[in-house]
Structure 1
Protein backbone atom coordinates (compact mmCIF):
# COMPACT_ATOMS: atom_id res chain seq x y z
CA UNK A 1 0.00 0.00 0.00
CA UNK A 2 2.80 2.43 0.91
CA UNK A 3 4.51 1.69 -2.39
CA UNK A 4 1.24 2.37 -4.24
CA UNK A 5 0.68 5.68 -2.44
CA UNK A 6 4.26 6.73 -3.15
CA UNK A 7 3.71 5.97 -6.86
CA UNK A 8 0.62 8.20 -6.87
CA UNK A 9 2.66 10.96 -5.22
CA UNK A 10 5.29 10.76 -7.96
CA UNK A 11 2.62 10.89 -10.67
CA UNK A 12 1.15 13.96 -9.00
CA UNK A 13 4.52 15.69 -9.09
CA UNK A 14 4.75 15.14 -12.84
CA UNK A 15 1.37 16.72 -13.59
CA UNK A 16 1.06 20.46 -14.26
CA UNK A 17 -0.95 22.54 -11.82
CA UNK A 18 -4.58 22.83 -12.88
CA UNK A 19 -5.34 26.09 -14.71
CA UNK A 20 -7.67 28.50 -12.96
CA UNK A 21 -11.16 27.90 -14.38
CA UNK A 22 -13.21 30.39 -16.34
CA UNK A 23 -16.14 31.95 -14.53
CA UNK A 24 -19.48 33.67 -14.91
CA UNK A 25 -19.03 36.19 -12.10
CA UNK A 26 -16.26 38.27 -10.57
CA UNK A 27 -15.61 35.64 -7.90
CA UNK A 28 -12.71 33.84 -9.58
CA UNK A 29 -11.39 36.69 -11.70
CA UNK A 30 -8.25 37.53 -9.71
CA UNK A 31 -7.19 33.88 -9.46
CA UNK A 32 -7.74 33.45 -13.19
CA UNK A 33 -5.67 36.57 -13.96
CA UNK A 34 -2.78 35.27 -11.89
CA UNK A 35 -2.87 32.00 -13.83
CA UNK A 36 -3.29 33.79 -17.18
CA UNK A 37 -0.16 35.82 -16.47
CA UNK A 38 1.85 32.63 -17.00
CA UNK A 39 0.14 32.04 -20.34
CA UNK A 40 0.82 35.64 -21.31
CA UNK A 41 4.51 35.38 -20.45
CA UNK A 42 4.82 32.26 -22.58
CA UNK A 43 3.16 34.15 -25.45
CA UNK A 44 5.83 36.84 -25.23
CA UNK A 45 3.99 39.51 -23.24
CA UNK A 46 6.45 41.81 -21.49
CA UNK A 47 6.45 43.71 -18.23
CA UNK A 48 4.15 46.54 -19.30
CA UNK A 49 1.58 44.10 -20.63
CA UNK A 50 1.74 42.02 -17.46
CA UNK A 51 1.24 45.12 -15.33
CA UNK A 52 -1.80 46.00 -17.43
CA UNK A 53 -3.16 42.49 -16.85
CA UNK A 54 -2.60 42.79 -13.10
CA UNK A 55 -4.49 46.08 -12.99
CA UNK A 56 -7.44 44.85 -15.11
CA UNK A 57 -10.79 44.91 -13.34
CA UNK A 58 -13.80 42.70 -13.89
CA UNK A 59 -15.94 44.65 -16.37
CA UNK A 60 -19.57 44.22 -15.35
CA UNK A 61 -20.71 46.59 -18.13
CA UNK A 62 -19.01 44.40 -20.72
CA UNK A 63 -20.73 41.27 -19.42
CA UNK A 64 -24.11 43.02 -19.45
CA UNK A 65 -23.56 44.15 -23.05
CA UNK A 66 -22.43 40.69 -24.10
CA UNK A 67 -25.64 39.18 -22.78
CA UNK A 68 -27.88 41.76 -24.45
CA UNK A 69 -26.99 42.19 -28.14
CA UNK A 70 -30.46 42.85 -29.50
CA UNK A 71 -29.73 45.01 -32.53
CA UNK A 72 -28.44 42.16 -34.70
CA UNK A 73 -31.84 40.49 -34.43
CA UNK A 74 -33.63 43.42 -36.08
CA UNK A 75 -34.83 43.42 -39.67
CA UNK A 76 -32.50 45.04 -42.21
CA UNK A 77 -34.70 48.14 -42.44
CA UNK A 78 -34.90 48.54 -38.65
CA UNK A 79 -31.18 47.93 -38.21
CA UNK A 80 -30.23 50.53 -40.80
CA UNK A 81 -32.65 53.03 -39.27
CA UNK A 82 -31.21 52.53 -35.78
CA UNK A 83 -27.64 52.79 -37.05
CA UNK A 84 -28.41 56.02 -38.91
CA UNK A 85 -27.67 54.70 -42.40
CA UNK A 86 -29.02 57.76 -44.23
CA UNK A 87 -26.77 60.07 -42.21
CA UNK A 88 -23.76 57.82 -42.72
CA UNK A 89 -24.31 57.83 -46.48
CA UNK A 90 -24.82 61.58 -46.66
CA UNK A 91 -21.78 62.40 -44.54
CA UNK A 92 -19.82 59.60 -46.18
CA UNK A 93 -20.23 61.12 -49.63
CA UNK A 94 -19.00 64.44 -48.28
CA UNK A 95 -15.98 62.78 -46.70
CA UNK A 96 -15.13 60.93 -49.88
CA UNK A 97 -15.28 64.13 -51.93
CA UNK A 98 -13.31 66.13 -49.38
CA UNK A 99 -10.54 63.54 -48.91
CA UNK A 100 -10.56 62.02 -52.40
CA UNK A 101 -6.78 61.81 -52.60
CA UNK A 102 -6.57 59.81 -49.35
CA UNK A 103 -9.28 57.32 -50.33
CA UNK A 104 -7.91 56.94 -53.85
CA UNK A 105 -4.49 56.12 -52.40
CA UNK A 106 -6.07 53.66 -50.00
CA UNK A 107 -7.88 51.84 -52.79
CA UNK A 108 -4.76 51.82 -54.97
CA UNK A 109 -2.76 50.24 -52.15
CA UNK A 110 -5.27 47.73 -50.78
CA UNK A 111 -7.96 47.41 -53.44
CA UNK A 112 -10.87 48.21 -51.13
CA UNK A 113 -13.15 51.03 -52.36
CA UNK A 114 -13.82 54.14 -50.29
CA UNK A 115 -17.52 53.36 -49.81
CA UNK A 116 -16.81 50.21 -47.82
CA UNK A 117 -14.20 51.80 -45.57
CA UNK A 118 -16.31 54.90 -45.00
CA UNK A 119 -19.41 52.82 -44.24
CA UNK A 120 -17.47 50.82 -41.64
CA UNK A 121 -16.10 54.02 -40.11
CA UNK A 122 -19.57 55.54 -39.90
CA UNK A 123 -21.22 52.40 -38.61
CA UNK A 124 -18.65 51.67 -35.93
CA UNK A 125 -17.99 55.06 -34.34
CA UNK A 126 -19.95 57.74 -36.23
CA UNK A 127 -16.71 58.72 -38.00
CA UNK A 128 -14.79 58.81 -34.75
CA UNK A 129 -17.46 60.70 -32.84
CA UNK A 130 -17.67 58.04 -30.13
CA UNK A 131 -14.98 55.37 -29.80
CA UNK A 132 -16.17 53.90 -26.51
CA UNK A 133 -15.95 54.51 -22.79
CA UNK A 134 -14.79 51.11 -21.54
CA UNK A 135 -11.23 50.24 -20.55
CA UNK A 136 -10.03 48.05 -23.43
CA UNK A 137 -7.75 45.79 -21.39
CA UNK A 138 -10.26 45.21 -18.61
CA UNK A 139 -13.05 44.51 -21.10
CA UNK A 140 -11.13 42.01 -23.22
CA UNK A 141 -9.54 40.27 -20.23
CA UNK A 142 -12.99 39.92 -18.65
CA UNK A 143 -14.31 38.29 -21.82
CA UNK A 144 -11.32 35.95 -21.94
CA UNK A 145 -12.15 34.88 -18.38
CA UNK A 146 -15.91 34.61 -18.98
CA UNK A 147 -16.95 31.05 -19.80
CA UNK A 148 -19.34 31.93 -22.64
CA UNK A 149 -16.70 32.64 -25.32
CA UNK A 150 -13.39 32.29 -23.54
CA UNK A 151 -11.60 30.49 -26.40
CA UNK A 152 -12.50 33.26 -28.84
CA UNK A 153 -11.38 36.12 -26.62
CA UNK A 154 -8.17 34.70 -25.13
CA UNK A 155 -6.09 35.48 -28.29
CA UNK A 156 -7.50 39.01 -28.28
CA UNK A 157 -6.63 39.43 -24.60
CA UNK A 158 -3.06 38.41 -25.39
CA UNK A 159 -3.12 40.82 -28.33
CA UNK A 160 -4.24 43.66 -26.08
CA UNK A 161 -1.38 43.01 -23.65
CA UNK A 162 1.10 42.96 -26.53
CA UNK A 163 -0.32 46.24 -27.83
CA UNK A 164 0.40 47.70 -24.40
CA UNK A 165 3.98 46.46 -24.71
CA UNK A 166 4.29 48.14 -28.10
CA UNK A 167 2.86 51.43 -26.87
CA UNK A 168 -0.15 51.32 -29.19
CA UNK A 169 -2.50 51.41 -26.19
CA UNK A 170 -2.18 51.71 -22.41
CA UNK A 171 -3.86 49.94 -19.52
CA UNK A 172 -6.43 52.76 -19.41
CA UNK A 173 -7.15 53.22 -23.14
CA UNK A 174 -10.89 53.45 -23.78
CA UNK A 175 -12.81 51.52 -26.40
CA UNK A 176 -16.07 49.64 -26.90
CA UNK A 177 -17.74 47.25 -24.47
CA UNK A 178 -16.13 44.18 -26.06
CA UNK A 179 -12.64 45.68 -26.06
CA UNK A 180 -12.76 46.96 -29.64
CA UNK A 181 -10.58 49.99 -30.15
CA UNK A 182 -10.11 53.03 -32.34
CA UNK A 183 -11.96 54.60 -35.24
CA UNK A 184 -13.18 51.31 -36.70
CA UNK A 185 -13.27 49.25 -33.51
CA UNK A 186 -10.61 46.60 -34.08
CA UNK A 187 -10.48 43.66 -31.73
CA UNK A 188 -6.99 43.75 -30.17
CA UNK A 189 -5.68 40.54 -31.73
CA UNK A 190 -6.65 41.81 -35.18
CA UNK A 191 -5.18 45.21 -34.41
CA UNK A 192 -1.88 43.58 -33.53
CA UNK A 193 -1.81 41.49 -36.70
CA UNK A 194 -3.20 43.87 -39.32
CA UNK A 195 -2.25 47.32 -38.02
CA UNK A 196 -0.74 49.74 -40.57
CA UNK A 197 1.28 52.88 -39.87
CA UNK A 198 -0.31 55.01 -42.60
CA UNK A 199 0.89 58.41 -41.41
CA UNK A 200 4.53 57.32 -41.20
CA UNK A 201 5.17 58.31 -37.60
CA UNK A 202 6.64 54.91 -36.72
CA UNK A 203 3.68 53.86 -34.57
CA UNK A 204 0.37 52.15 -35.31
CA UNK A 205 -2.31 54.23 -33.59
CA UNK A 206 -5.91 53.11 -34.03
CA UNK A 207 -7.09 56.43 -32.62
CA UNK A 208 -5.45 58.14 -35.60
CA UNK A 209 -7.89 58.13 -38.52
CA UNK A 210 -5.31 57.44 -41.22
CA UNK A 211 -3.82 54.45 -39.40
CA UNK A 212 -7.24 53.06 -38.51
CA UNK A 213 -8.72 53.26 -42.01
CA UNK A 214 -5.60 51.88 -43.68
CA UNK A 215 -5.58 49.02 -41.16
CA UNK A 216 -9.23 48.31 -41.97
CA UNK A 217 -8.52 48.15 -45.69
CA UNK A 218 -5.47 45.95 -45.04
CA UNK A 219 -7.56 43.59 -42.91
CA UNK A 220 -10.19 43.13 -45.61
CA UNK A 221 -7.56 42.60 -48.31
CA UNK A 222 -5.81 39.96 -46.21
CA UNK A 223 -9.14 38.24 -45.63
CA UNK A 224 -9.57 37.79 -49.37
CA UNK A 225 -10.96 41.02 -50.80
CA UNK A 226 -10.65 41.03 -54.60
CA UNK A 227 -9.80 44.48 -55.99
CA UNK A 228 -12.05 45.82 -58.72
CA UNK A 229 -14.78 43.26 -58.04
CA UNK A 230 -18.33 44.04 -56.83
CA UNK A 231 -19.36 43.58 -53.24
CA UNK A 232 -23.13 43.32 -53.40
CA UNK A 233 -24.95 40.38 -51.84
CA UNK A 234 -23.99 37.04 -53.35
CA UNK A 235 -20.51 38.08 -54.49
CA UNK A 236 -17.13 36.93 -53.19
CA UNK A 237 -16.35 40.33 -51.66
CA UNK A 238 -19.70 40.37 -49.89
CA UNK A 239 -18.67 37.17 -48.14
CA UNK A 240 -15.40 38.84 -47.10
CA UNK A 241 -17.46 41.44 -45.22
CA UNK A 242 -18.49 38.60 -42.90
CA UNK A 243 -14.90 38.58 -41.68
CA UNK A 244 -15.48 42.06 -40.30
CA UNK A 245 -18.79 41.28 -38.64
CA UNK A 246 -20.54 37.92 -38.77
CA UNK A 247 -24.07 39.33 -38.42
CA UNK A 248 -25.81 39.08 -41.80
CA UNK A 249 -27.78 42.29 -41.20
CA UNK A 250 -24.50 44.13 -40.63
CA UNK A 251 -22.94 42.75 -43.83
CA UNK A 252 -25.92 43.71 -45.93
CA UNK A 253 -26.04 47.19 -44.44
CA UNK A 254 -22.36 47.74 -45.24
CA UNK A 255 -22.83 46.59 -48.82
CA UNK A 256 -25.82 48.87 -49.35
CA UNK A 257 -24.29 51.93 -47.72
CA UNK A 258 -20.92 51.37 -49.39
CA UNK A 259 -22.53 51.27 -52.82
CA UNK A 260 -24.53 54.42 -52.09
CA UNK A 261 -21.43 56.28 -50.92
CA UNK A 262 -19.42 55.13 -53.93
CA UNK A 263 -22.27 56.30 -56.12
Structure 2
Protein backbone atom coordinates (compact mmCIF):
# COMPACT_ATOMS: atom_id res chain seq x y z
CA UNK A 1 0.00 0.00 0.00
CA UNK A 2 1.37 3.38 -1.01
CA UNK A 3 0.91 6.34 1.30
CA UNK A 4 0.64 9.01 -1.43
CA UNK A 5 -2.75 9.71 -2.92
CA UNK A 6 -2.97 10.34 -6.70
CA UNK A 7 -2.99 14.08 -6.02
CA UNK A 8 0.53 13.72 -4.63
CA UNK A 9 1.80 17.24 -5.21
CA UNK A 10 -0.94 18.85 -3.12
CA UNK A 11 -0.38 16.29 -0.36
CA UNK A 12 3.37 16.93 -0.27
CA UNK A 13 2.98 20.71 -0.34
CA UNK A 14 0.56 20.66 2.56
CA UNK A 15 2.76 18.26 4.47
CA UNK A 16 5.80 20.48 3.94
CA UNK A 17 3.92 23.49 5.28
CA UNK A 18 2.44 21.74 8.26
CA UNK A 19 5.41 19.62 9.29
CA UNK A 20 6.86 20.92 12.55
CA UNK A 21 9.74 19.01 14.16
CA UNK A 22 8.34 17.30 17.24
CA UNK A 23 9.09 14.09 19.04
CA UNK A 24 5.87 12.63 17.66
CA UNK A 25 7.38 12.92 14.15
CA UNK A 26 10.08 10.40 15.04
CA UNK A 27 9.53 7.21 13.08
CA UNK A 28 9.57 3.93 15.04
CA UNK A 29 11.92 1.24 13.77
CA UNK A 30 10.83 -2.37 13.26
CA UNK A 31 12.29 -5.83 12.84
CA UNK A 32 9.69 -7.21 10.44
CA UNK A 33 7.88 -5.89 7.38
CA UNK A 34 4.70 -5.31 9.37
CA UNK A 35 5.22 -1.66 10.18
CA UNK A 36 7.21 -0.64 7.10
CA UNK A 37 4.49 1.23 5.22
CA UNK A 38 3.45 3.27 8.26
CA UNK A 39 7.10 4.01 9.01
CA UNK A 40 7.67 5.31 5.47
CA UNK A 41 4.85 7.81 5.98
CA UNK A 42 6.55 9.07 9.14
CA UNK A 43 10.00 9.07 7.55
CA UNK A 44 8.70 11.25 4.71
CA UNK A 45 8.46 14.10 7.23
CA UNK A 46 12.11 13.60 8.18
CA UNK A 47 13.06 13.54 4.50
CA UNK A 48 11.17 16.77 3.78
CA UNK A 49 12.93 18.56 6.63
CA UNK A 50 16.25 17.29 5.24
CA UNK A 51 15.49 18.86 1.86
CA UNK A 52 14.28 15.87 -0.13
CA UNK A 53 11.98 16.94 -2.97
CA UNK A 54 9.18 15.40 -5.03
CA UNK A 55 11.18 12.78 -6.95
CA UNK A 56 12.97 11.56 -3.84
CA UNK A 57 9.72 11.39 -1.88
CA UNK A 58 8.10 9.39 -4.65
CA UNK A 59 11.06 6.99 -4.54
CA UNK A 60 10.50 6.61 -0.81
CA UNK A 61 6.82 5.88 -1.43
CA UNK A 62 7.80 3.23 -4.00
CA UNK A 63 10.37 1.54 -1.74
CA UNK A 64 9.63 -2.05 -0.79
CA UNK A 65 10.75 -3.94 2.28
CA UNK A 66 13.94 -5.69 1.16
CA UNK A 67 13.94 -9.13 2.73
CA UNK A 68 17.15 -10.07 0.92
CA UNK A 69 18.90 -7.09 2.46
CA UNK A 70 17.79 -8.03 5.97
CA UNK A 71 18.92 -11.61 5.44
CA UNK A 72 22.34 -10.45 4.23
CA UNK A 73 22.68 -8.02 7.13
CA UNK A 74 22.07 -10.83 9.61
CA UNK A 75 24.58 -13.20 8.01
CA UNK A 76 27.83 -11.31 7.40
CA UNK A 77 30.36 -14.07 7.96
CA UNK A 78 33.29 -13.25 5.70
CA UNK A 79 34.73 -10.57 7.98
CA UNK A 80 35.17 -13.18 10.70
CA UNK A 81 37.64 -15.19 8.64
CA UNK A 82 41.40 -15.14 9.07
CA UNK A 83 43.28 -12.83 6.73
CA UNK A 84 44.48 -15.77 4.63
CA UNK A 85 40.99 -17.23 4.30
CA UNK A 86 39.43 -13.85 3.58
CA UNK A 87 41.89 -13.09 0.78
CA UNK A 88 41.37 -16.55 -0.69
CA UNK A 89 37.58 -16.15 -0.73
CA UNK A 90 37.82 -12.66 -2.23
CA UNK A 91 40.17 -13.86 -4.98
CA UNK A 92 43.14 -11.72 -4.03
CA UNK A 93 45.57 -13.37 -6.44
CA UNK A 94 43.22 -12.77 -9.37
CA UNK A 95 42.63 -9.16 -8.32
CA UNK A 96 46.38 -8.51 -8.18
CA UNK A 97 47.07 -10.20 -11.53
CA UNK A 98 44.25 -8.41 -13.31
CA UNK A 99 44.96 -5.21 -11.42
CA UNK A 100 48.51 -5.00 -12.75
CA UNK A 101 47.22 -5.34 -16.31
CA UNK A 102 44.55 -2.71 -15.73
CA UNK A 103 47.11 -0.30 -14.34
CA UNK A 104 49.37 -0.81 -17.36
CA UNK A 105 46.49 -0.30 -19.82
CA UNK A 106 45.28 2.86 -18.08
CA UNK A 107 48.56 4.35 -16.90
CA UNK A 108 47.68 7.96 -17.79
CA UNK A 109 44.30 7.75 -16.08
CA UNK A 110 45.71 6.44 -12.82
CA UNK A 111 48.61 8.89 -12.93
CA UNK A 112 46.11 11.74 -13.30
CA UNK A 113 44.09 10.46 -10.34
CA UNK A 114 47.17 10.27 -8.15
CA UNK A 115 48.29 13.73 -9.22
CA UNK A 116 44.94 15.24 -8.24
CA UNK A 117 44.08 13.26 -5.11
CA UNK A 118 47.36 11.74 -3.96
CA UNK A 119 46.03 8.17 -3.84
CA UNK A 120 48.16 5.57 -5.68
CA UNK A 121 46.79 3.35 -8.41
CA UNK A 122 47.37 0.07 -6.59
CA UNK A 123 45.04 0.91 -3.74
CA UNK A 124 42.24 2.23 -5.97
CA UNK A 125 42.51 -0.83 -8.20
CA UNK A 126 42.44 -3.13 -5.16
CA UNK A 127 39.26 -1.45 -3.94
CA UNK A 128 37.70 -1.72 -7.40
CA UNK A 129 38.59 -5.39 -7.63
CA UNK A 130 37.47 -6.21 -4.11
CA UNK A 131 34.15 -4.39 -4.34
CA UNK A 132 32.81 -5.40 -7.76
CA UNK A 133 35.45 -7.51 -9.55
CA UNK A 134 36.30 -4.41 -11.61
CA UNK A 135 32.70 -3.57 -12.35
CA UNK A 136 31.66 -7.02 -13.52
CA UNK A 137 29.08 -7.35 -10.73
CA UNK A 138 27.65 -4.24 -9.07
CA UNK A 139 24.67 -5.89 -7.37
CA UNK A 140 21.08 -6.83 -8.09
CA UNK A 141 19.25 -5.12 -5.22
CA UNK A 142 17.27 -1.91 -5.59
CA UNK A 143 19.42 0.72 -3.89
CA UNK A 144 16.60 2.87 -2.52
CA UNK A 145 14.59 -0.05 -1.16
CA UNK A 146 17.66 -1.60 0.44
CA UNK A 147 18.87 1.53 2.21
CA UNK A 148 15.37 2.57 3.29
CA UNK A 149 14.78 -0.92 4.70
CA UNK A 150 18.00 -0.73 6.71
CA UNK A 151 16.96 2.67 8.07
CA UNK A 152 13.64 1.21 9.18
CA UNK A 153 15.32 -1.87 10.72
CA UNK A 154 16.11 -1.42 14.41
CA UNK A 155 19.59 -2.94 14.26
CA UNK A 156 21.48 0.06 12.82
CA UNK A 157 18.82 2.61 11.98
CA UNK A 158 20.83 5.65 13.09
CA UNK A 159 23.81 4.65 10.95
CA UNK A 160 21.77 4.16 7.78
CA UNK A 161 19.44 7.17 8.07
CA UNK A 162 21.90 9.69 6.49
CA UNK A 163 22.40 7.24 3.64
CA UNK A 164 18.66 6.89 3.10
CA UNK A 165 18.38 10.68 2.90
CA UNK A 166 21.38 10.66 0.56
CA UNK A 167 19.75 8.09 -1.71
CA UNK A 168 16.55 10.12 -1.94
CA UNK A 169 18.54 13.27 -2.76
CA UNK A 170 20.45 11.37 -5.44
CA UNK A 171 17.08 10.52 -6.96
CA UNK A 172 16.17 14.23 -6.86
CA UNK A 173 19.42 15.00 -8.70
CA UNK A 174 18.80 12.35 -11.33
CA UNK A 175 21.93 10.42 -10.35
CA UNK A 176 19.90 7.29 -9.57
CA UNK A 177 16.27 6.15 -9.81
CA UNK A 178 14.02 3.88 -7.77
CA UNK A 179 15.15 1.02 -9.99
CA UNK A 180 18.91 1.57 -9.77
CA UNK A 181 20.61 -1.65 -8.71
CA UNK A 182 23.41 -2.05 -6.21
CA UNK A 183 24.57 -4.27 -3.38
CA UNK A 184 22.45 -5.72 -0.57
CA UNK A 185 23.20 -2.83 1.79
CA UNK A 186 22.40 -0.16 -0.78
CA UNK A 187 25.97 0.42 -1.94
CA UNK A 188 26.16 1.58 -5.54
CA UNK A 189 28.47 1.72 -8.51
CA UNK A 190 31.94 0.42 -9.33
CA UNK A 191 33.30 0.85 -5.80
CA UNK A 192 30.05 0.43 -3.87
CA UNK A 193 29.53 3.83 -2.27
CA UNK A 194 26.89 4.13 0.41
CA UNK A 195 24.45 6.77 -0.87
CA UNK A 196 25.23 9.43 1.75
CA UNK A 197 28.92 9.19 0.87
CA UNK A 198 28.10 9.21 -2.83
CA UNK A 199 26.20 12.45 -2.35
CA UNK A 200 28.98 14.06 -0.32
CA UNK A 201 32.08 12.93 -2.20
CA UNK A 202 30.96 12.29 -5.79
CA UNK A 203 33.25 13.61 -8.55
CA UNK A 204 32.40 14.29 -12.19
CA UNK A 205 35.71 13.04 -13.61
CA UNK A 206 34.61 12.93 -17.25
CA UNK A 207 32.99 16.40 -16.99
CA UNK A 208 29.70 15.44 -18.58
CA UNK A 209 27.71 17.42 -16.04
CA UNK A 210 26.67 14.57 -13.76
CA UNK A 211 28.26 12.22 -11.27
CA UNK A 212 27.73 8.64 -12.43
CA UNK A 213 28.95 5.93 -10.06
CA UNK A 214 28.39 3.38 -12.80
CA UNK A 215 31.07 5.14 -14.87
CA UNK A 216 34.52 3.87 -13.88
CA UNK A 217 36.21 7.28 -14.09
CA UNK A 218 33.65 9.03 -11.91
CA UNK A 219 33.60 6.13 -9.43
CA UNK A 220 37.36 5.87 -8.96
CA UNK A 221 37.79 9.64 -8.78
CA UNK A 222 35.06 9.75 -6.15
CA UNK A 223 36.81 6.98 -4.21
CA UNK A 224 40.12 8.84 -4.28
CA UNK A 225 38.36 12.06 -3.25
CA UNK A 226 36.68 10.28 -0.34
CA UNK A 227 40.01 8.95 0.94
CA UNK A 228 41.69 12.34 0.57
CA UNK A 229 38.91 14.08 2.49
CA UNK A 230 39.12 11.43 5.21
CA UNK A 231 42.75 12.32 5.88
CA UNK A 232 44.84 10.68 3.15
CA UNK A 233 48.35 12.16 3.04
CA UNK A 234 49.85 12.16 -0.49
CA UNK A 235 53.22 10.49 -0.74
CA UNK A 236 52.88 8.63 2.55
CA UNK A 237 52.51 4.88 2.93
CA UNK A 238 49.37 2.88 3.70
CA UNK A 239 50.78 -0.33 5.16
CA UNK A 240 50.11 -1.15 8.84
CA UNK A 241 51.86 1.50 10.91
CA UNK A 242 52.02 4.00 8.04
CA UNK A 243 50.27 7.37 8.10
CA UNK A 244 47.53 6.39 5.67
CA UNK A 245 46.67 2.97 7.03
CA UNK A 246 44.18 4.46 9.48
CA UNK A 247 42.34 6.09 6.58
CA UNK A 248 41.47 2.64 5.23
CA UNK A 249 39.18 2.22 8.25
CA UNK A 250 37.05 5.03 6.84
CA UNK A 251 36.41 2.94 3.74
CA UNK A 252 35.69 -0.32 5.56
CA UNK A 253 35.77 -0.96 9.31
CA UNK A 254 36.75 -4.65 9.05
CA UNK A 255 40.40 -5.27 9.93
CA UNK A 256 40.81 -8.13 7.43
CA UNK A 257 39.47 -5.86 4.69
CA UNK A 258 41.98 -3.12 5.53
CA UNK A 259 44.83 -5.60 5.68
CA UNK A 260 43.83 -7.10 2.34
CA UNK A 261 43.70 -3.71 0.62
CA UNK A 262 47.15 -2.83 1.93
CA UNK A 263 48.63 -6.11 0.69
CA UNK A 264 46.95 -6.12 -2.72
CA UNK A 265 47.58 -2.44 -3.35
CA UNK A 266 51.30 -2.87 -2.68
CA UNK A 267 51.48 -5.93 -4.91
CA UNK A 268 49.65 -4.24 -7.78
CA UNK A 269 52.01 -1.27 -7.62
CA UNK A 270 54.95 -3.68 -7.40
CA UNK A 271 56.36 -2.11 -4.26
TM-score for both structures, normalised by structure 1:
0.94
- In the alignment, does 2:153 pair up with 1:134? no
1:169 aligned counterpart, secondary structure:
coil
Per-residue deviation, residues 103-150 of structure 1 (Å, max 9, x unmatched): 000000000000000000000000000000000000000000000000
1:137 aligned counterpart, secondary structure:
helix
Pair 1:18–1:49, CA change in 2 (3 A):
closer
CA distance in 2, matches of 1:238, 1:74: 20
Q: Which has the larger radius of gyration?
A: 1
1:1-263 matches, cutoff 5 A: 17=24, 19-263=26-270
Instruction: Please report how far the alpha carbon of residue 215 of structure 1 lies from its aligned counterpart in structure 2 after TM superposition.
Output: 0.1
CA contact (8 A) 2:25 2:45 kept: no
Per-residue deviation, residues 171-196 of structure 1 (Å, max 9, x unmatched): 11000000000000000000000000
CA distance in 1, matches of 2:212, 2:45: 28
Instruction: Please report how far the alpha carbon of residue 236 of structure 1 lies from its aligned counterpart in structure 2 after TM superposition.
Output: 1.9
- After superposing on structure 2, the runs of 4+ consecutive aligned residues of structure 1 that deviate more than 2 Å are 15-20
Instruction: Please report how far the alpha carbon of residue 17 of structure 1 lies from its aligned counterpart in structure 2 after TM superposition.
Output: 2.8
Instruction: Please report how far the alpha carbon of residue 235 of structure 1 lies from its aligned counterpart in structure 2 after TM superposition.
Output: 1.5
CA contact (8 A) 2:99 2:126 kept: yes
- Aligned match of 1:12: none
CA distance in 2, matches of 1:111, 1:40: 35
Instruction: Please report how far the alpha carbon of residue 217 of structure 1 lies from its aligned counterpart in structure 2 after TM superposition.
Output: 0.2
CA distance in 1, matches of 2:52, 2:230: 26
CA distance in 2, matches of 1:215, 1:192: 10
Instruction: Please report how far the alpha carbon of residue 228 of structure 1 lies from its aligned counterpart in structure 2 after TM superposition.
Output: 0.5
CA distance in 2, matches of 1:18, 1:262: 52
CA distance in 1, matches of 2:125, 2:40: 38
- Aligned match of 1:11: none
Instruction: Please report how far the alpha carbon of residue 18 of structure 1 lies from its aligned counterpart in structure 2 after TM superposition.
Output: 5.2
CA distance in 2, matches of 1:133, 1:104: 32
What value does the CA root-mean-square deviation take over the aligned residues? 1.1
Instruction: Please report how far the alpha carbon of residue 102 of structure 1 lies from its aligned counterpart in structure 2 after TM superposition.
Output: 0.1
Instruction: Please report how far the alpha carbon of residue 16 of structure 1 lies from its aligned counterpart in structure 2 after TM superposition.
Output: 5.1
